Chain A
Amino acid sequence: MMLTLSLVGKDVVVELKNDLSICGTLHSVDQYLNIKLTDISVTDPEKYPHMLSVKNCFIRGSVVRYVQLPADEVDTQLLQDAARKEAMQQKQ
């Protein structure tokens, strides 16, 4: 979650379990990984026209499949290390 916290203010693409992909600026994140996006647009083909008028949205964490992060904003090595450390902690 800290990772997503560090991305607040950046542009992300959230892919939901219903295959809808939403691009927007990450406004906030919470412990359940609920996501608030501002200034959103549906990235892929606009086959979800009901989103046209939506500017900001709140996405429940449980429906998120992926959050696509900007590559340059994320230190993948650090992320890997963090994941390893967390895995270590969980094992213990």
Chain B
Amino acid sequence: MKYSRVWRRGDDSCVKSMLTCTCLCTSQQAKDVCQPEWPENGGEWSDGEDGTNMDCGLLQAMAEEDEEIDVHNEETFGMDLDVHGTTEAPGDLLQFGDLPPPPPPPPPPPELKPPSPHGSPSPPRQRPQYLSRAPPGQRGRGRAQRGGLGRGQMFDDPAVMRTVQGRPSIKGLDSAIVDCGDAMYQNTFEDDYMAPSSRKTRRVSGSILQDSAIVCVIDGHRGQHPTSNFLDTPYPVSPFRGRRGELRGSYPRRQFGHRGLSRMHPSVVPGSPILSRQPLTPRQHYNQTGGFMFPTNRPCPSTQSLPPKMMQHRFGANSPRPSPIYSPSSNSVQHFRYPGPVTQLHPQHKRLLSQKQRIFQRKPDNWDPYCNLMTAKEKEWITRLQMIQLQSEHPYLEDYYYQEYYRRIEAKMAEEELGIRGKREPLKLTTPYITKTDSYTPVVHIEGSLGQVAVSTCYSPRRAISAVHAVQGKGPHEEQKDIRQQRLEVLSKIEKLFVVLLEVEETERMKTTVLSEAEERRLREKTQAKVQHIYSQLQHHEPLDSGGEFLPFLLVSKGKRLLARLLPFLKQDTALRILSIVTCNLPTLMSRDTEEALPVLYPPLRNVIGGLTFSQLIEALKDFTSDSLTCESLTLACQNKFGLSLLYALLSHGEKLLSSGVPLEPSIGDFETWTDTIFQVAGQLSQCSLVEPLLLPSNLLTLFCRYLDKRTVHQLKSNMESATGYLALPS
């Protein structure tokens, strides 16, 4: 396939003629008017010509033609066409045969610029140069098809810009789209798509002629007829050509039956940005579809049925047109204004273009400033990517409409056209079916993680991590897991209780509003119920082997915080219970308080302590001191902020009670225990190094003074002060 043909010119002046010849015919009359510049002897063109037949002679011929075109353009469009200083005359871009640029019915779709073989047709019109020529073998066919069209249809040569009845190439419409080399877009699509009813052949409007973006050579309409055995579209998915049969896609190709053509719109990659910019001009002649020439290097689809000019790649038997793409953009095209021949390009852009042109068979700069921005490989790559995105295992689920629509169309066609060899089969773009499904584990459990690890898939982009504890059977190996499970359970429970606590706090805050008595009572009851619920939940945790009431929760910092916030709501007796639990298990708590969350319990416990009776206080103190023989608990407490503070708080409260004069109602032995405790504590405090407590009560020294001698007191004082760093106690 010789797409590479002509473009191979070294000089800039080369290509313009070739390219875009999409024959855009804007009006029927135009067609008549248009005198194909190309040799009228279109039929004489040898069918045997091979696209590869580029030789110097051809090049020369092309050069000549270019000049002619230039002249024509100048005449038609004025001198300003040639901006880029190419050797070609201005206005190489669109050249219609001899068409004056007819205004297209709706806003001039700057469609393809058909090459306008203007002036003297050069002999080698039959250039095999069409870029997008079909494989050599097919050219003949195409020609034959063309034969009937007559003069105006001589735009076989893609290089020739003339389009009498072509469909404006999409590229033409969008100056930014270019690459004539890769004629991916077939302008034709739009035509078919948009205006099923308009069979007019329109000439490309003058604006199109001026549009340097027109690249695609469309061979169009000539004969196009229902020849539709060609499917147009230079679908960029040339890479998929090989898989035609398998491709399926969401590019439905519309078939406009009324035209008698089973033209297909080129399948366009839906996502292709370029394509989307292509304006669909309803008015574009439908006929043109077939004639797309891609001046690409890609081989044409090799189906025999394709006309030589078919650049369109046919994917599979029925490649649908990507119609959806065109419809919205059809209007947009109309407002699209092409830069025209005088396109001021950014110097870098120019440089880039010229570079690319060197690489590709090119087109003159002024012809199409945006062509060859991407290499063929890049285009193929993108096309492939886009096709991959189309793959689906459930086509009926994901693209129901398309599947169904084409199924019906095909059924209808089969019914109607039994005799015809599938010429009218609607083209469908088929993407490869995915046969294998990757099975993914939606839930991945990693050891040590909290619940499930989020595995992101396209079906579930993110799975929330949930602290779910799956109950597992206990096994030797699962001891550790069990611990973790337990921890997770505890945490999960805490979270649930937190929610309740938040409600409690909320109602507490709302209590400031004045409510009726009944309401208040009800609220209070509710709150109490909630509080009780939390309390009981904290108290008993399964499995109960975790150490007793509350302990599992207290060991977790979040649990500590929960309890700390719960305490104010608890009644004194329940709160006392908690206090005792804390003091009893202080060593454990202190040792496992890795996050140092214990201090959070201090303020509420202090309040609780403040409400203790003397006996209760003594009880609490007993827990502190009655532990092991070595007063381990006391020692540890001195080393721990919380422990020490708690101790201080207890002592301070005792002192307060004692000095307050309130009848203490002590139980038997309370005072003794009290005194003993004082001594013990004093001894301990003076010996160990103390940490700074959270709060140093002011009456401690007074307490000590009462029981201890001055020396000890002094020692204590200095010890305590050194810890706190300031003179906290009255001497």
A interface residues, Cβ below 8 angstroms from B:
77, 80-81, 84-85, 87-88
In the assembled complex, which residues on chain A have CB atoms less than 8 Å from the CB atom of B495? 84
Cβ contacts A to B, 12 pairs, < 8 Å: A77-B561, A80-B498, A81-B498, A81-B502, A84-B495, A84-B498, A84-B499, A84-B502, A85-B502, A87-B499, A88-B499, A88-B502
What 9 pairs between A and B have smallest CB-CB spacing?
A88-B499, A84-B498, A84-B499, A84-B502, A81-B502, A85-B502, A77-B561, A84-B495, A88-B502
In the assembled complex, which residues on chain B have CB atoms less than 8 Å from the CB atom of A87? 499
Cα of A77 to Cα of B502 in the assembled complex, Å:
12
Write the chain B residue with the least CB distance to A87: B499
Cα of A2 to Cα of B495 in the assembled complex, Å:
22
In the assembled complex, which residues on chain A have CB atoms less than 8 Å from the CB atom of B561? 77
Cα of A87 to Cα of B465 in the assembled complex, Å:
13
Interface residues contributed by chain B, number (CB under 8 Å): 5
Q: Is the interface of B mostly helix, strand, loop or mixed?
A: helix
In the assembled complex, which residues on chain B have CB atoms less than 8 Å from the CB atom of A88? 499, 502
In the assembled complex, which residues on chain B have CB atoms less than 8 Å from the CB atom of A80? 498
In the assembled complex, which residues on chain B have CB atoms less than 8 Å from the CB atom of A84? 495, 498-499, 502
B interface residues, Cβ below 8 angstroms from A:
495, 498-499, 502, 561
The smallest C-beta distance from A64 to any residue of chain B, in angstroms, reads 15
Cα of A88 to Cα of B498 in the assembled complex, Å:
11
Cα of A88 to Cα of B502 in the assembled complex, Å:
10
Cα of A85 to Cα of B495 in the assembled complex, Å:
11
Cα of A81 to Cα of B502 in the assembled complex, Å:
7
In the assembled complex, which residues on chain A have CB atoms less than 8 Å from the CB atom of B502? 81, 84-85, 88
Cα of A61 to Cα of B352 in the assembled complex, Å:
35
Write the chain B residue with the least CB distance to A88: B499
Cα of A77 to Cα of B561 in the assembled complex, Å:
9
Write the chain B residue with the least CB distance to A82: B502
Beyond contacts A77-B561, A81-B498, A81-B502: 9 other A-B pairs, Cβ-Cβ < 8 A, are A80-B498, A84-B495, A84-B498, A84-B499, A84-B502, A85-B502, A87-B499, A88-B499, A88-B502
Cα of A80 to Cα of B501 in the assembled complex, Å:
13
In the assembled complex, which residues on chain B have CB atoms less than 8 Å from the CB atom of A85? 502
Cα of A88 to Cα of B499 in the assembled complex, Å:
7
Write the chain B residue with the least CB distance to A80: B498
Write the chain A residue with the least CB distance to B506: A85
Write the chain B residue with the least CB distance to A91: B499
Cα of A4 to Cα of B499 in the assembled complex, Å:
23
Write the chain B residue with the least CB distance to A81: B502
The smallest C-beta distance from B464 to any residue of chain A, in angstroms, reads 10
The smallest C-beta distance from B55 to any residue of chain A, in angstroms, reads 50
The smallest C-beta distance from A91 to any residue of chain B, in angstroms, reads 9
In the assembled complex, which residues on chain A have CB atoms less than 8 Å from the CB atom of B499? 84, 87-88
Cα of A85 to Cα of B561 in the assembled complex, Å:
17
The smallest C-beta distance from B191 to any residue of chain A, in angstroms, reads 39
Cα of A80 to Cα of B565 in the assembled complex, Å:
14
